[in-house]
Structure 1
């Protein structure tokens, strides 16, 4: 049991050290040697946990996806009007992503590098899209799936353009209000 705890602690140190290095130096500028040094472990120990830096980056992305889904689910919960909850949920989701990248000169590289884990993100995005469509449908919006996809795609564009800007949350909330409001009014 103690060995499993030590292995988990080492893995945590590796992931955290790599995350900091990726933010400071970018994915291309970070080596396995630098990760091992920053984590305070030997390279063979690092390679016993991860095959290469992309595998370490993948572990970071897995954690990020879990946090992204949790932020969306927390934001969508509540009794407020659907446009408000949707705007909050999507903004919260991108705040989690932005929180990891904000302040890094390598934010664009890292934001685009997540495509290496396209399957992981595709599963999370499908789950979020289905949940969003269900909320919109429950509010009586026709073509809820299409509107959910439109909101998520437009929000992705806003988030990728506003990394590190304080207007990201407000922009996403405004988008949700302006897209959902007319759809609700058409159904009344």
Structure 2
């Protein structure tokens, strides 16, 4: 059972993460101070430091939160109904929708996921898990070059997301891409 104190702690932590994420995306990681984050969250600096010892810890908590949301959305899409090409398209579209929602059209989006060595490692780990899940689903469907196709799909989705991050059709485009790349592989099965 969750106590009221635990709920307050969780709510305050979420408030701090939301304020920091908004500032990091608006101003960039380097230009955002702990003082600005505390002010934006409406708390005193000692309160912020009680939750996060420094800006790096706060930043990594945000990246981990986004990656967890992304992994959950991906897994839900992959477990959904339909043929493997439809499920993979749904999983990839859901995953990229989480990222798009989290970072929007920030000019600091690249910094958000790549500038920090520890966050780059978290992102690489998340991508490896997603790739392994795609390879497993494609292999189970009988695709012979499952690993190559999984990498191709992820790279193409990444390119679509970078080029079309503000378009409303990103999810549809990713689903179409998955269908067009996977369906011929399924038909080629002996």
State the TM-score bracket (shorter-chain normalisation): 0.7 to 0.9
Q: Provide the C-alpha distance between the structure 1 equivalents of 2:5 and 2:173, rounded to a whole number of angstroms.
A: 48
Q: Structure 1 residues 4 and 173 mapped into 2: Cα distance closer, same or farther (>3 Å)?
A: closer
CA RMSD of aligned residues (A): 2.2
Q: How many residues align?
A: 188
Structure 2 spans left out of the alignment, 5+ residues: none
CA distance in 2 between counterparts of 1:163 and 1:116 reads: 25
Q: Give the match for residue 83 of structure 1.
A: 85
Q: Equivalents in 2 of 1:141, 1:163: separation in Å?
A: 30
Q: Deviations over 1:111-149 (max 9, x none)?
A: 544764122122222221111111111111102122112
Secondary structure of residue in 1 paired with 2:166: coil
Any gaps of 5 or more consecutive residues in structure 1? none
Q: 1:71 aligns with which of 45, 67, 73?
A: 73
Task: Evaluate the alpha carbon distance shift between residue 114 and residue 172 of structure 1 in structure 2; reply closer, same or farther with a 3 A threshold.
Answer: farther
Q: How far has the Cα of 1:67 moved from its partner?
A: 0.6
Match of 1:166 in 2: 168
Matched, 1:157 2:155: no
User: What is the TM-score normalised by the length of structure 2?
Assistant: 0.86
Q: CA deviation at 1:168?
A: 1.7
- Distance across 1 between alignment mates of 2:169 and 2:114: 21
Give the TM-score, by structure 1 length. 0.87
